[in-house]
Structure 1
């Protein structure tokens, strides 16, 4: 029975792997005219949503010189005659410049999916706790137990350990949302037809910006003194230390954004490249070579999927942990003596 279940699972896994990827690679081949698989085209943002190998067009919204244009898809924008497609991008037909592009993209959709799922789970669990399940009694079901384990972990091992005791509680909702939301965004990329929203620098940049603004908004007087004034430090040293501290305010969120973006993008590219070897060998040497390469690529891809799932949760943890560290450093009240030795 167990062996039959394993065979069924492997069969379903292969179907999920190859069906969407084959259709997507065929679409990419038509676009590139020669390449059997378009690696870059698989990881960049798109104006259509891939679902089980099918493509659902997404709305295109433009602000052009004060006028708002809304279309259901790229094709409808071109058919209207008001826009033309040039080098894969839409341009106003009259030669005007697009002031603001508010189009819905695949990465944005997966950001929404991650946040909506996070909010839905949190509200559902909060409702159970209000009813007394988990508060007056023990948590019921594996899902509520898992939710409580994750929440307590974020609260006690991330927020409480890095943010002052009298302030950490107000940051727990943000840190928990960041951890769960980024985990979902990372894991959505494991779907053969899915997109890794965090493999987009604009997504990770916005997430890092939230941490940056929360950190600076909650900075104490002592925090800002050590950025601009450095109590007890000779004046000539402030000329050197103040610019360094100001730059440091921005390098921290920059490092948050780039670390998450680079790790998730590299993992996605690696999986596509290794699995894409099947199509490359088929295109060059024939179907027999493609089948032979699949004996190597598929097991390695499955192993990489497991590794990428671990890395996805790990990167969510690292982003949340560093956010808590930065917030805690800014919110902490430093009891220091005057003098350069105390600052050091």
Structure 2
């Protein structure tokens, strides 16, 4: 409850805004490097750093370069990194078997990161789109992505990531029932301490375009993802999805995209009182970067302000491509 202030002039609300010290004392939320998760794109090869044209400042990196970049980010205070693979098109198949190959890009990078930076948390992505010739997150049968058969594949993918050493597994597919099946498989497979950060409220958004370029799924995608990702006009449904995933064993939940859905972040935080994350997705990042590069916005200030918005909305953390750049400023 917010109590009414005394009448002016007894209450001058500007008093606590007068100096940096007073503003700091009155500040309701804070942004820390501990709040940042850095999404990165891994590709094959050695010594490769390949720019993603639609995401200025973002690269597809080979495993050795991922490790180098992670060390730099860790030294800045970034504690968690999230891997997304750019899969060779020749390895994309209808059965998506590369998704649970122990030696695929994601698993290879996970092992390399845990060997080099054992205290850095490694998060992985569970979905079939990087491995699927259709670009869909699940198996497409006659134009419809089937649920139960897809969940069986996602379980195998999640177990392979846990075996590679992942600390956090992020199912981003939006299939029904996958959290419960993945949790059961992890428990029975000896991976009781692996966290599940469920993409519980992932919307069928137009803000994902640059990401699909980055992982090579844009050209492959046939149709859209509206039969499994959420309608952007719904919020009550998001709460039902979150409640279900928590009941099935999710440790943390995510809202994706981030800034256009801060109302969902707030409702999730107030309703469930669990760690709620937001993904500041590729389209959000690209817009801010483009405006900054054109001199239309102060890039550093809008970067930090955008991250502060997530904290104000009740998020415990945020996946953001700005993580290293923000950490340099926050930790200074």
Q: TM-score range by the shorter chain?
A: under 0.3
| TM-score (normalised: structure 2) | 0.21
| TM-score (normalised: structure 1) | 0.20
